[in-house]
Amino acid sequence: MKNDEFVTIPGNWNFNFNYFAGESASRFFRELRENRRIMGTRTQEGGRVLVPARAFDDETMEPTDDWVAVGPEGTLETFTIITAAFPGLPEPPLVMGYVTLDGADTALINFIHGVDLSDINAAAKSLSKLPRVKVEFIDNPQGRITDFSFRLV
Amino acid sequence: MKSAAIIGVGQTGYRRSHPDKSSRELIWQAARLALEDAGVGIDGIDVILAGVAPDGLSGENSVERTGMLGRRKPFLRVNTGGVTGSSTVFAALSYINSGRAKAVLVVGLERMGQATSSQQVFNTIFDPIYEKDFPLTTITMAALRASMLMRLYGYTERHWAEIASRSFRNALRNPLAHLRKDISPEDVLASQLLAWPIHRFEACPMSEGACAMVIVAPEHVGDRRPAWVQGAASITDSYAMGDRIHRPGATLVDLLSLRLAAGKAYGQAGITRPRDELRVAELYSAFSSAEAMAYPALGFCAPEDGPAFVEAQFTDSRLPVFNPSGGPQGANPVSATAMVRIAECALQVRGLAGERQVADVERAVATGQGGATQFSTVCVLGRRPVH
């Protein structure tokens, strides 16, 4: 080895995990799979409707055990159009955005389908008008957040 | 808050990677420079605090071992995502203000040059239950906010390009910076579109390197040239970005945590007119849109005046100088970045910033932003202690 040569030792992390979704997300996912509906939760005192469902409202630390169905339509709040490929992530171009479903007080993130992406700037301009969207389920819901996405109305 | 002073700063300089140094060697190099600047040996240090953020970025699962320096001293590792570096400094301030230490050595290390899949690691920082299946990265998270700022306040892609270009050009005067290229606003706009409206040259680089500082109680400043900590505050917010969309008075693009932290830190420092009283601002702005969100939160302008404020920076020399070091656009060693902001402000108020020195810096402000901005820190440094 030359004196000015620096050694590089290859490494790799490839660990598997099972993430424990917890009580509220487990019910949220069951509702997706069995009833094809999006549920939010709120405090019994009539607090804000949190979507996706949460166990507690982090403003008040109170439990949110009042379950409310929201949607199936909603309004786009903000978005990005992903145009570059990132390793391990879906192929571009695609639109991702936050949507407030009717009856919800918070927005949730998902893909937005049905947008003409042949001209990215024109697509951005039209999405900036915050169009209405609707929930669209996949054919065989698995009880995962990927069971649905949004499509322009 | 009692007084504390920064009397030593050491930085390795930042690059995409430092293949010539192990992590231990990097942290040791920065620490030695800081101790030398402070004129103290390791024996004069009471506590050592190390800030290192996600282990996945370095691929070393026990960086508390890497960060450990010296012997027979209390040691803590701090990790709060993007604000790891400033949280480490604030932990040092707590030791000093409580009287539990007279002199603290803080070190911040970023080793992501070892990560050949860093964007995949960044994807894992989001919620594994509801979010990890979407292409959420630091870039797309910034893009979701940038598009909202454009819609609400009239920012254009040109504004993002001008902010990024200004930082790149400032970095030309910083020998420690990772990216030192004269990148014009046109170059930014012509670079690859990653996630509308973010272009490649608007995103900060991925850098590694180490930063260290020696922070002491007032009676230990001695004959050293200090940067006095006049105000320091750290505030959290809800992690859930979707919960902030409709929040009255503090939506997703209002950095509530930064605004509250600034209010506290300015209160401690006695600052009432930040635009006039702060000469330098070193902002943790990994993207131009993050800088734009910081202006109103730090009291520099109203949210709707942001685009005009960007334009005024190029013509009004009375305005604070933003990121004279180049900021995160010049180098973004994630775990250390928020500490670097404080270190650069310390160099500015001490008059030791070399080619990037701004004239007559009486006071400077450094910010930290972490995660989905659920963590913010604000630190005001000055030539004199606050009484």
- The sign of the dihedral angle between the CA atoms of B214, B215, B217, B223 is positive
Q: Chain B: residue nearest A58 by CA?
A: B238
| Cβ within 8 Å of residue B34, ≥6 positions away | B8, B9, B10, B105, B107, B212, B213, B214
Q: Which of residues 40-59 of B touch A (CB under 8 A)?
A: 56, 59
Q: Are the CB atoms for A70 and A101 separated by under 8 Å?
A: yes
Smallest Cβ–Cβ distance between B242 and the set A81, A84, A108 belongs to: A108
Taking CB atoms and an 8 Å limit, are B59 and A11 in contact across chains?
yes
Mutation pick from B26, B61, B119, B130 vs chain A, by most beta carbons of A within 10 Å, is B130
What pLDDT score was predicted for residue B68? 86
Q: Are the CB atoms for B368 and B276 separated by under 8 Å?
A: no
Q: Chain A: residue nearest B243 by CA?
A: A106
List of chain B residues whose C-beta atoms are within 8 Å of the C-beta of residue A120: 193, 196
Taking CB atoms and an 8 Å limit, are A84 and B194 in contact across chains?
yes
Instruction: Give me the residues paired with residue A14 across strands.
Output: none
Q: Rounded to the nearest 10 degrees, what angle do helices B288-297 and B157-171 cross at? A: 90
Which pairing describes strands B198-199 and B193-196: parallel, antiparallel, or unpaired? Answer: antiparallel
The rounded distance, in Å, linking the Cα atoms of B350 and A37 is: 60
Supply the DSSP symbol for B43: G
Q: Chain B: residue nearest A77 by CA?
A: B245
Instruction: Tell me the DSSP string of B84-147.
Output: HHHHHHHHHHHHHHTTS-SEEEEEEEE-GGG-TTHHHHHHTTS-TTTTTTS---HHHHHHHHHH
Smallest Cβ–Cβ distance between A100 and the set B145, B150, B246 belongs to: B246
Report H helices in B156-305.
Answer: 157-171, 185-190, 256-269, 274-277, 288-297
pLDDT in tens, B20-56: 999 999 999 999 999 999 999 999 999 999 998 878 8
Contact pairs from chain A to chain B, CB under 8 Å: 128
Both tokens of B152, joined, read: 């609400």
List of chain A residues whose C-beta atoms are within 8 Å of the C-beta of residue B133: 144-146
- Given a cut of 70, whether residue B326 has pLDDT beyond it is yes
What pLDDT score was predicted for residue A1? 59
Run means of pLDDT, 10 residues per run, chain A, 153 residues: 82 90 97 97 90 94 95 97 84 96 97 97 97 98 97 96
Question: To the nearest whole percent, how much of chain B has pLDDT over 90?
Answer: 83
The rounded distance, in Å, linking the Cα atoms of B174 and B336 is: 17
The rounded distance, in Å, linking the Cα atoms of B205 and B185 is: 17
Question: To the nearest whole percent, how much of chain B has pLDDT over 70?
Answer: 100
